[in-house]
Structure 1
Amino acid sequence: MVEELAQADDAVAACVDAAAWALAEHELIAALDAAHRLEQRLAAVKLALVREVDGRGTAVAQGASSTAVWLRERLRLTIPAARRLVDLAACVDAAPTAVRGALAAGAVSVEQVRVIADTVATVQTAAGPEVADKAVAVLVDWAGQFDPMLLRKLGTRILDHVAPDIADAAARAALDAEAARATRDRHLTVSEQTDGRLRLTGTLDAEAAALLRAAIDPLSAPAGPDDHRCAGQRRHDALADVCRLALRTGELPEHGGDPAQIVVTTSYDALAGQLGAGTLDTGFHLAPETVRRLACDAAILPAVLNSTGQPLDVGRQRRLITGPLRRALVLRDRGCAFPGCDRPPRWCDAHHIHHWADGGPTNLNNAVLLCGHHHRHLHHTDWTVRLAADGYPEFIPPAWLDPDQLPRRNHYHRRT
């Protein structure tokens, strides 16, 4: 085997030095097909060797703690890659003879072998070895037409082709087993970082996943040609919008005796001067511009403190755009007023055109509806907004975007 592999090595080396640009198109495609087939056949040889090394205990005999560790040192792999190689070698070794033969012939890929092995194991459990043998033949044939992902999807209905009389019962059993696994494995981990941010990790069951996608997918689309957020940032902002909507309903359970809410503490001078940071009730700080944006559509509770910071008097909430005033704002703007945005009113904040902390009044002539993204955009960029002579909001782009700074409007919500 060593001599044969050495000859193959020489042949491949000769191909490396060959000029691919000189090949005709049909020769180029044929060479690509041949190289791929050879790659799969070499993979079959390599996996057989790894399986034998693992089975003999060669790694431990040479002082390594495991075959994966030995492969890391020997082949200069990462530990995850070495472990996958050992697992895949075991998977191929346990695969039906016909599947190993197809891999050795270069007719299927290593990834397809794993899919076929997993599917056949499921079929054998559900229907026995005879039906499993039929499934192997069908799956190997499909592997010549479909990639591993589609092959796995088709494999979920393999019994329809090889054992239709038990397919429905087996599919129901598989669904029940999958539902049980999903219920068992569901979790969400919220890890607090040192700067007040959170890292979310977890696995959602199918129902929760569908609910999340239904809630955030419509909000995750780009908001317009000026939206330069990446997909991950848009999903982040969509999740924040969903949370804002949930808080706005007022139907969440109380938390510590108060309605569910976020609490930011700042001084009036800092809010008005746009200079001071705010402090969350968790102890983390927010930038001044973030505090002012949150104050646009939040309840403000004034408090008088003594020289040591102890509260002497706490007043009532004021200046929030709610009730009839918000309804009037919704009737006028019908959704986010920023040009080109289609977000409906329930996803929007009420923004003070002339900030309340700067002396701006809380009335219809000083308010505009903005979705979360465009609310942040307005606070953090050079865009400005005003009410035109007809009473509808119009937005002035920054000079770098439009040197003439012609006012723009949102025509999406207008019906007349």
Structure 2
Amino acid sequence: MRTAAPNLIEEVSTAQAELAAVLTGVDERMLHDDPLLQLTGAIERAAVLLDSWRVRLAGEVGARSRRELGEDRLSAKKGCRNAVELLARITLAAERTLTQRMRVGEATRPRTALTGDTLPAAFPEAAAALRSGILGYDSALAIIDTLAPIRARVGDLNLERAEHALVAAATGPTIESPLPFSADEVRGQARVWEQVLDPDGTVPAEEQAMAARGIGAGLTRDGLVHRKMALLPEIDAKFETLLNAYLNPRSKPTFTDPDPDAPKDPRATAQARHDVFASLIDGASRSADVPRIGGAAPTVLVSVRQADLTARCGSGFIEGCDAALSMRAVEQLACTGGTQTVLIGDDGRLVSLSTSDRVFNAAQRRAITLRDGGCIIPGCTIPAAWSEIHHVIAHRDGGKTEVCNGVLLCWLHHRTIETSGWRILMIDGVPHVKPPPWLRGGRSDAETPWRRATKSRPQLADLLERHPVLVE
């Protein structure tokens, strides 16, 4: 048995270079139909073999990084929290992808008994087909993800029958099909086996989930409101899809971020998900379909003393919430939601109540939306419907509630506009932005030009015609 000695690493690197040399100069657009399809199949067969090694190596790294090994686990010795982080540093692949590889790797890796004896893999046929390069990674994942959860209920023998049939279908041909099943067909066939072997498994689980679903009341601690959520799978899938759509950098149109020095998101994943959720709530609250309470749209009431608001110090308080708000948070809510002045006498008597002011009306919001198209900070993907309107010149400094003084900002950039270093300037009624010093690449303020900021597609098309360098 060969080990990963230096000469093996060199041989793999040589093979990689040889493959690259073979493909260098090939223009897929010049291939005739049949050669195009044949090359597609050949590349995929090579990828299947590489995928099998990706899975095997990820499984091995995961096994050597097991939590029970303590400080002796591989990930800890390399300064990483777990196997996923270690693999991510080496491969640069997404954590979700690496987690799946490790899951398949664990299921197809020989096991070790408590006595130290070697046992077959949990899915031995899938393991053998995967290692030989005839079973694709996606098909193996479909088999394992579908059958593993029902093993305890249906038993090993029944699971072996299903595994055998699914591997045969995926590698083909079989009596039922002259061609191997695609990964999607394998997953569908696996679902059929799941229903056949465990016909009562789905319904009780769904009934139990329906009874347990819910969102708990918030508990305020350390300035945060902690809630427990238990979502049904289909509801969580919708929520997750929305989050991923606005957190995935690949979803950004290339022309919305022409600056090569575009900011990298410094937030942790959980923080970014929170901020997208905040924008979702803002967007939903502005919907015409939202039920009205007391004749008005649902409104968060924040009370603050006029002296504190003027001095920009102290705290504000949300009705029904124990946590105090910083003046920065109060000002953000006032900027986007408006204020009313309530004069209360020394004896506690209500003296007067002003009308609501500094609120952009629906017509103004539509106009600003058409101009800005979304949060105007470069690189931000939050759409216009989820964005707030920010007074470029603050209301307290004499700024008017007019379209030439309002710009769209997402919840996060609105909350941090005075601390992040981003600057906004209206030039002839058009928003322009200048990045903070830490994003200027050493350029001074004078050397950093103001850049027109818009996510509006018609305006971007016009800009691209006049400045084609933006799409480079």
TM normalised by structure 1 equals 0.62
1:384 corresponds in structure 2 to: 423
> Structure 2: how far apart are the matches of 1:280 and 1:311?
19
Instruction: Provide the C-alpha distance between the structure 1 equivalents of 2:376 and 2:160, rounded to a whole number of angstroms.
Output: 63
Q: In structure 1, what is the equivalent of residue 130 of structure 2?
A: none
1:294-309 equivalence runs, <5 A: 294-309=333-348
* Closer/same/farther in 2, CA of residues 388 and 377 from structure 1, 3 Å limit: same
Decide whether aligned partners of structure 1 residues 218 and 269 sit closer, same or farther in structure 2, where only a CA change above 3 A counts.
farther
Which residue does the alignment assign to 1:68? none
Alignment of 1:360-379 (within 5 A): 360-379=399-418
Count of residue pairs the alignment pairs up: 315
- Matched residue SS, 1:290: helix
Letter in 2 for 1:217: N
1:121 to 1:159, Cα distance in 2 relative to 1, 3 A: farther
The alpha-carbon deviation at position 208 of structure 1 amounts to 1.2
1:319 and 2:358 are equivalent in the alignment: yes
Question: Within 2, Cα distance between the matches of 1:318 and 1:182?
Answer: 46
What is the CA distance between 1:231 and its match in structure 2?
0.9
Q: Is the 8 A contact 1:188 1:203 kept in 2?
A: yes
Q: How does 1:9-24 map to 2 (within 5 A)?
A: none
CA distance in 2, matches of 1:307, 1:202: 44
Paired residue secondary structure (2:408): strand
Change (3 A) 1:292 1:133: closer
* 1:106 equivalenced with 2:124 (yes/no): no
Work out whether 1:228 is the aligned partner of 2:266.
Answer: yes
Query: Residue 271 and residue 405 in structure 1: after superposition, are their counterparts in 2 closer, same or farther (change >3 A)?
Result: farther
Say yes or no: does 1:410 pair with 2:456.
Answer: no
Question: How much identity, in percent, do the aligned residues show?
Answer: 25
Alpha-carbon separation, structure 1, partners of 2:435 and 2:395? 23
Q: 1:273 to 1:130 in 2, by over 3 A?
A: closer
Kept after mapping to 1: 8 A contact 2:404/2:426: yes
CA distance in 2, matches of 1:132, 1:221: 37
The 3 A distance-change label for structure 1 pair 300 and 109 is same
Matched, 1:218 2:261: no
> Contact conserved, 1:337 with 1:409, CA < 8 A, in 2?
no
State whether structure 2 residue 122 is matched by structure 1 residue 122: no
- Matched residue, 1:51: none
Q: Distance in 2 between matches of 1:159 and 1:363?
A: 57
Give the alignment of 1:128-277 within 5 angstroms: 131=158, 134-135=161-162, 158=190, 173-221=200-248, 225-249=263-287, 251-254=289-292, 259-277=297-315
> Aligned in 2, Cα 1:170/1:400: closer, same or farther, shift over 3 Å?
closer
Of residues 356-365 and 191-200 in structure 1, the stretch that sits farther from structure 2 once superposed is 191-200
**CA distances 1:245-275 after superposition (whole Å, capped 9, x unpaired):** 1222254345577642211112334323322
CA distance in 1, matches of 2:205, 2:280: 29
Q: Quickly say closer, same or farther: Cα 1:131–1:213, change in 2 above 3 A.
A: closer
In the aligned structure 2, how far is the partner of 1:279 from the partner of 1:217?
A: 33
**What stretches of structure 1 of length at least 5 have no aligned partner?**
1-19, 27-32, 41-98, 143-153
Distance of aligned partners of 1:181 and 1:118 in 2 relative to their CA distance in 1, 3 Å threshold? same
Alpha-carbon distance, 1:227 to partner: 2.5
Provide Cα deviations, 1:318-346, integer angstroms capped at 9, x if missing partner.
Answer: 22001222222222222222233343221
When Rg is computed on C-alpha atoms for both structures, the one with the higher figure is 1
Aligned-partner residue type, residue 372 of structure 1: W
Is the contact between residue 119 and residue 156 of structure 1 (CA under 8 Å) also seen in structure 2? no
Deviation sequence 1:379-412 (CA, Å, 0-9, x none)? 32232211113x2100123344332232123354
Q: Decide whether the 8 Å contact of 1:338 with 1:374 is kept in 2.
A: yes
Name the counterpart of 1:347.
386
- CA RMSD in angstroms comes to 4.5
Q: Distance in 2 between matches of 1:183 and 1:220?
A: 29
**Worse-superposed segment, 129-138 or 177-186:** 129-138
Which whole-Å CA distance do the structure 2 matches of 1:243 and 1:354 have between them? 26
- Matched letter for residue 402 of structure 2: N
Q: Is the 8 A contact 2:279 2:411 kept in 1?
A: yes
Structure 1, residues 101-157: CA drift from partner, whole Å, max 9, x if none?
9x95432269x9x99786344336xxxx97566347679999xxxxxxxxxxx8995
Gaps spanning 5+ residues in structure 2: where? 10-55, 64-110, 127-143, 170-185, 253-261, 463-472
* Alignment-derived partner of residue 62 in structure 1: none
Equivalent position SS for 1:219: helix
- Assess if the C-alpha contact under 8 Å between 1:352 and 1:360 holds in 2: yes
Q: SS at the partner of 2:300?
A: coil
Change (3 A) 1:248 1:138: same
| 1:190 shift after superposition | 3.4
